[in-house]
Structure 1
Amino acid sequence: MKKQLLILALMATTAGFAQRDTTNPAPAPVGGVPRGAGAFPGLGGAAAAGKPRPYKEVITDKAVTKKGLFTVHKVEDKYYFEIGDTLLSREILTVTRFSKVPGGGGQYGGEQVNEQSIRFERGPSNNLFVRVVALISTADSTTRIAKAVANSYLDPIAVAFPIAAYGKDSASYVFEVTDFFKSDNQLIALDAGAKRQFGLQALASDRSYIQSINTFPINTEIRTVKTYSASAGAPGGFPGTPGSSSLPAGRAAGAVTVELNTSMLLLPKLPMYRRLFDSRVGFFADRFTVYSDDQQKVDNQTFAVRWRLEPKAEDLQKYFRGELVEPAKQIIYYIDPATPKQWVKPLIDGINDWNVAFEKAGWKNAIVGKEWPNDPNMSLEDARYSVIRYFASDIENAYGPQVHDPRSGEILESHIGWYHNVMKLVHDWYMVQTAAVDPKARKMKFDDELMGQLIRFVSSHEVGHTLGLRHNMGSSSKTPVENLRNKAWVEANGHTASIMDYARFNYVAQPEDNISEKGLFPRIGDYDKWAIEWGYRFLGENDVEKDMKINNQWIIKNIGGNPRLWFGGEGRGNDPRAQTEDLGDNAVKASDYGIKNLKRVLANLPEWTKEEGDHYENLSDMYGQVIGQFGRYMGHVSRNVGGIYETFKSIEEPGDVYEPTPKAIQKDAVSFINKQLFATPTWLLDKNILNKIAQPATTERIQTLQVSTLRSLLDGTRLGRLTTSANRFGAGTYTADELVTDVQSEVFSELASRKPIDNYRRNLQKEFVEQLITLGNPPPPVTQQLAPGISITTGISKTTDVTSIAKGHLRSLQSEASAAAAASTDKMTKYHLQDIADRIKKALDPK
């Protein structure tokens, strides 16, 4: 399957509303991965013996003919394609999707199976060849170096079709496709990985067939049914996972049947002009290498993925005068007719909301959402139509993929995946984050009006992905925390500058602020409008370098005066300003307000989760959501410790790209975690709730959160980053030794106060010691390969200062623990401190 290629320094994904990319959480690097690599093993393609016959002998009077991209002839039980000379060497995008699937496999009708670009060409011995276009490098055909490029990047021949007959004047070619579409091959079926995942074996040819072939002006749609034999697998395995039992259908019948739809879509004869990718604006990108005669080094050209919006010829001057005009071709999204009626309008509203952004780029009515018409000539699988597909699934998610022309980045269509149970996801988020301020959120089933607004926001987010926009996890950091409590400001501007952020809802707003839903919900914001303007302004330049220079100056002019236009990336790096699920420019302040609201929510959970006949499942679920939200606050704050700000710039802009998080912010972060988490948060240990939902366990959820946060703070990679930052940036940075000292002073505060140490604190102190012991004698660093050419190394070397710092703290802690144990009058405290001292002694002197 063709994957979105992202720039190495800007790698993207995450859970919940994910741009599905299309389904791979670790994107492939830019370049280096040929499209269609591996081609289609097992396709064979050997030409049948014999010469072409007269046209009338092949396409007889019994033929049922349909004209379109390919002229399709059905003669009894055989299918023939007829293509003209004009289609030879034209690129055709093939996209295969599931139409219907068996249950239990985690796949749903409408999801994409694979994607390839192909082209037909004449071969010897009366054959038509199908080549897979592995676009890696290109050159202008008029240059001399184009010959070298052609010699170095030969596209593989995947299939050979014997020509059954020639059309009139030998200007067209007829070939049979029956066996090809019935067969098991990667181009139109499942690849080896998918078959392994589902426990599928050989194709059962007697139960596999072509259901229909329909053809349209620029595309041909092939619907096939394929049945595979399948072993029952080991009992007790989880269906649909590698190495486990097969799908339920396989266990019941020893066979699995899927329906597939393959769209063969003609790519534009003249590719859209490319807009070169810019790291300061969050667009998906594709890439190839461009060669030319006058180069002194190759040009690795990375370009944005976007729709083709161009003015009509008669509106060109109006557009350049600044008047809003309709594009020559609108962007249209249809709603799956399987969608429950009450959610159709919110989904359409979420689509149409983007028009306010397109107006900034000079377009009116650029995008429109529509209900699926009652038209028998239209198919949901037709690649000409973009659709929000509704999946009957318990998955709490939605995703927004798109299919684009790999030569230019032009988006051709999108099939957004909408899982039915995404409503539970938004319900739980909204309840736990806003029930303290919004009475409508205080129940387990929301009114249709509120749920409709939640669906609308998710719709806008996913459509944003299909317009080419990546997540901007840094956007919410450009809103001052106090503005989130300012009713007038937040209702006018929204709590984040981008709906492409994972900012969810305004959990900072307090009850006394009286902020309405308008100030609680995400919306299309300043960044979104700016990004759409960058991607979709029509400049009329066909020279990518000129286009890039114009846009570079435009970015510099605009971004300097408005920090809300900042693109912070996908939130996978070390920049604490770019995180998922966070709000505001100060994580400590925002989280402090959030905890105040969580306390209000927790106190009312038993009442708000009541439903007749419920056996406390609601209470258990929502208590888990409260713990999860509290844990997010700890994560947001701790990310500042060892943080590195990363601000993408061009050379014309002043200042550094990388700088450490200010020391004061890091120290405040550690102080917050010490106070809110390491000092046992007894307010979360509500016995009125816990005694109804959970048996006493060896490890309670609060303890688990304390331990995981402590391990994260004292992680060797984080401490190593602090050490490196101190070396590079000098005095005034927060050091690894200061971090360990600040955490130790709180975790072991009882050593000075001589107070008894409770169970939660004893566990936490043991974990602290074990973590320092590990740091003092670390295992070898581990290098993980994320993708070809991209790796990440975690852990620390024994040669760094981190091991010395750990051993130094262990020595002082051993002495303090021994002295405190001798003075303690509490039996468990004495046992515990003696244990601590013994562990440290053994670690420092194993002999």
Structure 2
Amino acid sequence: MKKKQFWILLIVGVCLWSLLFLIKQSFPTQAKLKNDAAIIHPNSLSENRPISSPLRAKKKTKSFDEIAKNTEKISGLFTLYRDKDKNKLYLEIQPEQLNKNYLCIITLSRGIGDGFLLNGLSLDNFLFHFRRVGDKVHFVLPNLNFRVRSDEPLGKLPENSFSDSVLYALDIVSIHPTRKTLLIDLSDLFLARDDLPGLNQRLPFLLGAPYTLDSDKSYFGDARAFPFNLEIETIYGFSAKGEEAFFNYLPTVPDSRAFNLSVHYSISELSANSDYIPRLADDRVGYFVTTYKDLSDNRRRDAFVRYINRWKLEPLNPQEALSPPKNPIIFWIENTVPKEYRAAIREGILIWNSAFEQAGFKNAIEVRQMPDNAPWNPADVRYNTIRWSNSLEAAFLGIGPSHVNPLTGQILDADIVIDANVVRSIKDEYRNLSSLNESTPSLAARSANWCEGDSLSPISVGTKLPPFFRQWMEEQDLCLNLAAQQELTVGPLALSLLKGITPTSATMGEYVHQFLRHLVAHEVGHTLGLRHNFHGSTMLAPHTLNDTSITHQVGLVSSVMDYVGVNLAPQGVEQGDYYPVIVGPYDRWAIEYGYKFSGERFPTMERRFLEQIARRAQEEELAYATDEDLRGFLDPDVNTFDLSNNVLLYAQWQMDNARRMWERLEKRYPQQGSTYSDIRAQFNTVFFYYFRQARLVTNYIGGSSFNRGHPSDPNGRLPFEPISVEKQREALEVLQKYVFAPDSFIFSPDLLNQLAPSRWNDFGLQARSGLDYPILDNILALQKRVLRSLLSNARLNQLRNLELKTQPDRALTLPELFNTLQEGIWTEVLHPNRETLNISSIRRALQREYLDLLTKMVLRRSEVPEDARTLAWYQLNQLEGSLEEVLDRAGDRLDGYTQAHLFETRDRILKALNAPLQSKQQLGKQGIGNRK
């Protein structure tokens, strides 16, 4: 009995003790809830939003008024509170501003003049909203890729099906007791270590070494608020990280271990009641597009909706055929642009007004000069500007990004940046030339290769670019600028060598004026929404390119949105325009499609109106091909830096021009005041120009024409039209004559011995370790690129396919290609005579490259069609027999080089032919033959 009472008393005691403990714990919880009330008022929570746990620890905070007391208040779209002494910038969010979309545009306002980090570069733009979740404000990028139809023309975003992206969860610093507004610290957003523009992730690729954001060196610059936008400048300090960064060299900063970047943020409101009518895209007309998937109707053939990117442009008098706009598109020329170039820039902008006249607008674009004392920043989203940038070496000559409403495709802002290096007539291009041989080429070289679209060459290295950089290349048109630098240099050099024009002459000034005007016109076209059109340069026949009575009337090209090569007249022809002076027929037609007023209120109601414009696509001068058409497909009319509707003939003219320039370079140089390094740079400029023409010729072999017309278009053609066998054979003859023949490259020793490099070794120019000019290596690099492209897996497969797509005996077959190449490259062996008995060093190197390619095919060390592998085996057998015959008949009359070369070649062929075959499984284990 006593034992039972003991246990009862023990249980009661434990219960009483537990009760007292819980009561004691409840007191601090209540006090804590009182403190929480000052931070998160229950009434301020959004509907259906979680309330933070009352047991969650809270840091001590100040009241709203206490925080704002010693700050500068900046009122506008959002109210800002700035404390410069403490490097603090607070943003006040009204309750009605939560869950509301805003546009953020991020621009690099000050770079380092290297690694593509140049002022004016657009870093990103996106839609975002602030979302209240408990005691946090989430910075949310809504998912705009999927929408459902509603009563609104644009539809609405689906809920629960697809995820948004929450980039930041920001602490609520305080809540105003009466306004219920939320105060957040913008340092948590703009100065966070995982920076909003993603520079931490981009810098290692751009600079070749890791750099990280240093919060202690980062701060806010200028901050302004306006009724519809915020403009905030941030200065990011970056420091080297790790041994690799410590030894990295950045020539444009005093110490490579640290530098600053300034980033400009423009935050603007998107009007929910805008009367802008999105316009549906058409694949026959080249516009950048805003795309989403419509989840409302499964009966549609294509669930994707595509709107073109364009400005809101409405006629003041819709009933008139030609009307001024209600609100013109205004471009401001920045006050930093040198006065001597402002006229060319103005012309390059206004050149588009003639295109808008075809769309029914008079003076659709205006140009204004930014005053020297302008109170606004060129990065301000309210101003479209033409900016002037300086760099050590130009990563671009001009870029033309625009910023759009991602819901509708409406263009809201555009800023074109021109690099000051555009006006330098001749620059040293040796670093680019040497990239033909580099195993680890520079960023600029890799980018240039990618831009050339040489996807058929196995040694092309330009495709290994990260997604963000490829996006930069396309959206900001960096490709034009990388290659245009070479085009810009060859023009003045040709004028000097072929025409005797001096650098200070009026003719040279006109050349720079035309180039700058064309460059600006191209970039303005991008800001109007237009994509590249690489068909644009094929409008005129070669003999009409220099007839200004034609080029001033209809244009030099059908579109300035092509990468237009400099127009150099062949010998004996009077020079016409170097670059287009007016926009072409395609440009006017594309602007008509994008901007002509229909009077309709909904996008779908414009379909018939737009179809009447687009169905003209089959007209020759309206042909359109863009970036994705340039790579991986052989169309001789779709290239960069070509001219005329007969590229095969035009390329020969330009290679003849290049040969004459080499001849005259020796006779006319060195001149007074020039250096031998100048001659080296000029020699390389011509070399690159020559190589580009040869690359254009290769596109005929295995090539087809492609057009984007629809079956219902008038005078419709099939999408694919194989290049005639006659043209392909002619192209092979041209390559034999200008690239592979024994006399393709003949230079005098005196010229080659003048090609000395600059020996300056400072941040302006680093001396190279090799003094001598590697003429053999550079010639072989050119020949190798052409030969490997001709025998690439992609081209050989295309030739096989064309045999099925062409009438019998109307296709260039693989046997004919192999036989033609072998006949041309091994002429000395297959057709020996006393004059060609001994083989030069240039030819020996080319023959070794050919032998290497065919041997890899036979030994299954390269990916090629089986028919090509069989033909390679056959060609080597034939060559071995010819080698045996030559060595037997003329072995004692051969020089030492040739005799050793032929004996070694025969030995390699015999070993390859007698090597045991390996199965694909065995080769797969070695990593051979299964490349993707």
Distance 1:75 1:503, change over 3 A: closer
Aligned position for 1:712: 789
Matched, 1:726 2:734: no
Aligned residues: 765
Aligned position for 1:26: none
Secondary structure, counterpart of 2:783 in structure 1: helix
Separation of aligned partners in 1, 2:355 and 2:307: 21
Separation of aligned partners in 1, 2:505 and 2:242: 39
Aligned position for 2:889: 823
- CA contact under 8 A between 2:149 and 2:156: conserved in structure 1? no
- CA contact under 8 A between 1:475 and 1:567: conserved in structure 2? yes
Separation of aligned partners in 2, 1:330 and 1:585: 36
Matched, 1:547 2:606: yes
Of 685, 688, 696, 1:625 maps to 685
Aligned position for 2:535: 474
Separation of aligned partners in 1, 2:876 and 2:298: 63
Of 263, 270, 279, 1:267 maps to 270
Separation of aligned partners in 2, 1:510 and 1:197: 40
Matched, 1:306 2:310: yes
TM-fit CA distance, 1:745: 1.9
Of 125, 133, 151, 2:142 maps to 133
Separation of aligned partners in 1, 2:832 and 2:204: 63
TM-score where L is the length of structure 2: 0.76
Give the 5 Å matches for 1:529-544: 529-544=588-603
TM-fit CA distance, 1:605: 2.5
- CA contact under 8 A between 2:563 and 2:640: conserved in structure 1? yes
- CA contact under 8 A between 1:128 and 1:163: conserved in structure 2? no
TM-fit CA distance, 1:123: 3.7
Cα deviation digits, residues 523-544 of structure 1 (max 9, x gap): 4211111111112212233443
Matched, 1:703 2:758: no
- CA contact under 8 A between 1:404 and 1:412: conserved in structure 2? yes
- CA contact under 8 A between 1:401 and 1:415: conserved in structure 2? yes
Aligned position for 1:28: none
Separation of aligned partners in 1, 2:89 and 2:245: 42
TM-fit CA distance, 1:397: 2.7
Matched, 1:774 2:856: yes
TM-fit CA distance, 1:580: 1.0
Separation of aligned partners in 2, 1:436 and 1:534: 44
Of 661, 669, 685, 2:723 maps to 661
Secondary structure, counterpart of 1:280 in structure 2: coil
Amino acid at match of 2:799: L
Identity level (%): 26
Matched, 1:559 2:617: yes
Separation of aligned partners in 2, 1:146 and 1:360: 32
- CA contact under 8 A between 2:335 and 2:372: conserved in structure 1? no
Give the 5 Å matches for 1:473-552: 473-486=534-547, 488-507=549-568, 509-516=569-576, 518=577, 521=580, 523-552=582-611
Of 581, 592, 604, 2:641 maps to 581
Q: CA RMSD in A?
A: 3.3
Cα deviation digits, residues 769-807 of structure 1 (max 9, x gap): 222112223436xxxxxxxxxxxxxx435xx31111211
**More moved, 104-113 vs 639-648:** 104-113
- CA contact under 8 A between 1:52 and 1:165: conserved in structure 2? no
Aligned position for 1:835: 904
Amino acid at match of 2:407: R
Distance 1:354 1:86, change over 3 A: farther
Give the number of the structure with larger relative contact order, counting CA–CA contacts within 8 Å between residues 6 or more apart: 1
Separation of aligned partners in 2, 1:691 and 1:326: 63
- CA contact under 8 A between 1:128 and 1:161: conserved in structure 2? yes
TM-fit CA distance, 1:466: 1.7
Secondary structure, counterpart of 2:824 in structure 1: helix
Separation of aligned partners in 1, 2:669 and 2:362: 45
**More moved, 300-309 vs 750-759:** 750-759
Aligned position for 1:788: none
Aligned position for 1:689: 751
Matched, 1:316 2:318: yes
Of 263, 281, 284, 1:277 maps to 281
- CA contact under 8 A between 1:333 and 1:387: conserved in structure 2? yes
Secondary structure, counterpart of 1:693 in structure 2: coil
Distance 1:436 1:105, change over 3 A: closer
Larger Rg: 2
Give the 5 Å matches for 1:578-617: 578-606=638-666, 610=670, 612-617=672-677
Amino acid at match of 1:831: A
Secondary structure, counterpart of 2:318 in structure 1: helix
Aligned position for 1:382: 380
Separation of aligned partners in 2, 1:216 and 1:608: 61
Aligned position for 2:418: 418
Distance 1:180 1:829, change over 3 A: closer
Secondary structure, counterpart of 1:210 in structure 2: strand
Separation of aligned partners in 1, 2:177 and 2:326: 35
TM-fit CA distance, 1:339: 2.3
Amino acid at match of 2:611: N
Give the 5 Å matches for 1:90-489: 90-102=100-112, 104-125=114-135, 127-141=136-150, 149-157=158-166, 158-162=168-172, 164-166=174-176, 170=180, 173-187=182-196, 190-194=199-203, 199=209, 203-231=213-241, 233-234=243-244, 238-239=248-249, 248=253, 251=256, 254-270=257-273, 272-293=276-297, 295=299, 299-312=303-316, 315-318=317-320, 322-323=321-322, 325-393=323-391, 394-395=393-394, 397-424=397-424, 425=485, 427-432=488-493, 439-440=500-501, 447-486=508-547, 488-489=549-550
Gaps of 5+ in 1: 1-45, 241-245, 781-794
Cα deviation digits, residues 254-280 of structure 1 (max 9, x gap): 543332221112223246433233222
Separation of aligned partners in 2, 1:51 and 1:291: 47
Cα deviation digits, residues 640-679 of structure 1 (max 9, x gap): 0011221112231333212321111101100111122221
- CA contact under 8 A between 2:90 and 2:185: conserved in structure 1? yes
Gaps of 5+ in 2: 1-54, 425-484, 757-771, 917-932
- CA contact under 8 A between 2:348 and 2:519: conserved in structure 1? yes
Amino acid at match of 1:67: S
Amino acid at match of 1:388: I
TM-score where L is the length of structure 1: 0.83
TM-fit CA distance, 1:604: 2.6
